[in-house]
Amino acid sequence: MAQVSLSNVRKIYPGGFEAVRGFSLDIADGEFVVLVGPSGCGKTTTLRLVAGLEDISEGQVSIGGRVVNEVHPKDRDIAMVFQKYALYPHMSAYKNMAFALKLRKVPKPEIDSRVRAAAAMLGIEELLDRKPGKMSGGQQQRVAVGRAIVRNPKAFLFDEPLSNLDAKLRVTTRAELKALHQRLKTTTIYVTHDQEEAMTLGDRIVVMHKGQIQQADSPLEVYRHPANRFVASFIGTPPMNFLEGELVQEGSAVVFIEHTANGATGAGLRIPLTAEQSAKVRMRTGQAITLGLRPQMLREASPGARDRFEAGPVVSLEVRVVEPLGETMDVFATTPGGHKVVARVPAKQSLIPAGVHNFVVDMTQAHLFEPGELGVNLLLDR
């Protein structure tokens, strides 16, 4: 096991495209770190730089305190599991798992005990004689993980290892991987574009955008205190709603006034900020600002409701479509200013009919961002 550090790492591919731009991260011994971000943001490239499968253009990668920029991949003592498991088709599961050890001339009895221990851990003992072509995707995935485990590496690198599995198997295998890490405590870097997978697996999640880290924190910290609008939009389902507008001072309160978009004719929403929020953004009155509301922070207004929503401001939304999900339902609506929003509300006996309805906003959980895709979160204490 080992610490993995990246310091100011850049990757410029031949042709000049800069896929990783000044990436710095210290991963503690035994930590499970998830790199998450949209397609093309540089997750795989970063992993390949750690593995040694790509040359580092600038900066330093170290594993266990040793700089490995010039170290051959096979001497870095790490194991990588890819999305395509790349098992050898003509070899049994046993031989697939034993192969790397055999190349290293590990004595046969030791290979056998390591392969059998890994197989037991992964529940694939009965598959050991079978070839990959005769296994399900989930079974092949476990063999691929087994092949990484037997090497007893300093670190595991996973690149979207669950994306070939169906939704149900993905959830159970995800839990198995987490349990496995709790058991082996091997330093792990795990890549996914699935924010839910990132949230559930990581000790820490690293949100990337165009080759750069936007935020690296515990999953709940990233969810509750997103550093900027991009992070806020990427983490959480359904994604956070964003309303463009400006702040105005009204007496001692600061009020968010929604700008009208897409040719909407009605006046925009007016939502007072809390006293605490007002104090933080008072100097920004008159300036453009983005209000961020998670779908869970909107509730249909009902006179009898007694919860944290009771005291919040009421907004009227034009409901277009309602999707029942069981315990909850997603309400797709439009604001008077023409912004599309989603509210995730507790399910009721009947769906909310299309038309204008009042919703309560839990403003204590709202976020305010500077304008733009990477606009910083103005309510964070820094």
DSSP string, 78-108: EEEE-SS----TTS-HHHHHHHHHHHTT--H
The yes or no reply on residue 241 touching Mg ion (CB under 5 A) is no
The yes or no reply on residue 350 touching ligand ATP (CB under 6 A) is no
Beta carbon nearer to ligand ATP, 39 or 349:
39
Of 5, 44, 96, 277, the one binding ligand ATP by CB under 6 A? 44
Nearest residue to 119 (alpha-carbon basis) of 132, 111, 108, 128 = 128
Least Å from the CB of residue 355 to ligand ATP: 40
Of 5, 43, 78, 362, the one binding ligand ATP by CB under 6 A? 43
The footprint of ligand ATP on residues 279-338 (CB under 6 A) is none
Stretch that binds ligand ATP, among 35-43, 266-274, 318-326, 355-363 (CB under 6 A): 35-43
The footprint of ligand ATP on residues 45-84 (CB under 6 A) is 45
> Do strands 288-293 and 241-250 pair parallel, antiparallel, or not at all (unpaired)?
antiparallel
The yes or no reply on residue 42 touching ligand ATP (CB under 6 A) is yes
The footprint of Mg ion on residues 20-49 (CB under 5 A) is 44
Q: How far apart are CA 244 and CA 351, in angstroms?
A: 29
Least Å from the CB of residue 9 to Mg ion: 16
CB 277, CB 368: distance < 8 Å: yes
Residue 324 interacts with which of ligand ATP, Mg ion, none, CB < 5 to 8 Å by class:
none
Q: How far apart are CA 301 and CA 251, in angstroms?
A: 26
Name the residue type at position 349: Q
Q: How far apart are CA 353 and CA 350, in angstroms?
A: 9
Beta carbon nearer to Mg ion, 45 or 214:
45
Of 39, 182, 252, 350, the one binding ligand ATP by CB under 6 A? 39
Q: How far apart are CA 231 and CA 217, in angstroms?
A: 11
Stretch that binds ligand ATP, among 37-45, 165-173, 194-202, 282-290 (CB under 6 A): 37-45
The tally of CA atoms less than 13 A away on the side-chain side of residue 364 is 6
- Residue 17 has a CB neighbour count (10 Å cut-off) of 10
Q: How far apart are CA 207 and CA 195, in angstroms?
A: 9
Q: List interacting residues with Mg ion (CB under 5 A).
A: 44
Q: List interacting residues with ligand ATP (CB under 6 A).
A: 13, 15, 17, 19, 37, 39-45, 193
